[in-house]
Amino acid sequence: MTILSVGCGSKLPEPNLVRLDKSEKLAPDVLWDLNNFPYPFADSSFSAIECFDVIEHLDDIPKTMEEFHRILKTNGLVKITTPHFSCANSFVDPTHKYHLSYFSFDYFAEDHNFSYYSQVRYKIKRRYIHFQGSRFNRSIIRKLANKFPQEYEQRWAWIFPAWFLEFELIKL
């Protein structure tokens, strides 16, 4: 199983892990501008892709998801973390270009009304809203937000801000 770490940052080398980043100071395995497509990999090169706290910095999420789809093997897994739109960290960092929701990757799922924005399809295996702070936020609000995400994001997100989102998507 070969894993691609997109925007690997200071992640240390590991067997079967390819570290991709744009900063040579981080000494990645592959130095590459993450907004430059195609990535320097053959089709179906990876069993999994991890993209932790990176996607919100990129220029074009649909193109990025299409590129992930190209270099991922069928049934391969994409893991993404990103700040929730209600998190102050989402807006504090001036390099963030996107402020994402529990539903942001639905656009790449097979049954979404706006799936015509991209031809690639993923199955959403898991998505989760994480909270920090008080025990109340980490227990009660977390449970309610993940059970009723639409209601949470439409009515409660600015009262009880989330911390970050976690996604697991499977290439179809």
pLDDT at residue 116 tops 80 = no
pLDDT confidence of residue 138: 74
What is the distance between the alpha carbons of residues 164 and 130, in angstroms, rounded to a whole number? 5
- Retrieve residue 133's tokens: 């702070």
Q: Stretch 159-163: mean pLDDT, rounded?
A: 95
Q: Count the neighbouring beta carbons within 10 Å of the beta carbon of residue 40.
A: 11
Cα–Cα nearest to 21, from 65, 45, 54: 54
Mean pLDDT of the chain: 94
Cα–Cα nearest to 42, from 66, 73, 87: 73
Percent of the chain scored above 70 by pLDDT?
Answer: 99
Given the structure tokens 């993923």, which residue do they identify?
122
pLDDT confidence of residue 76: 98
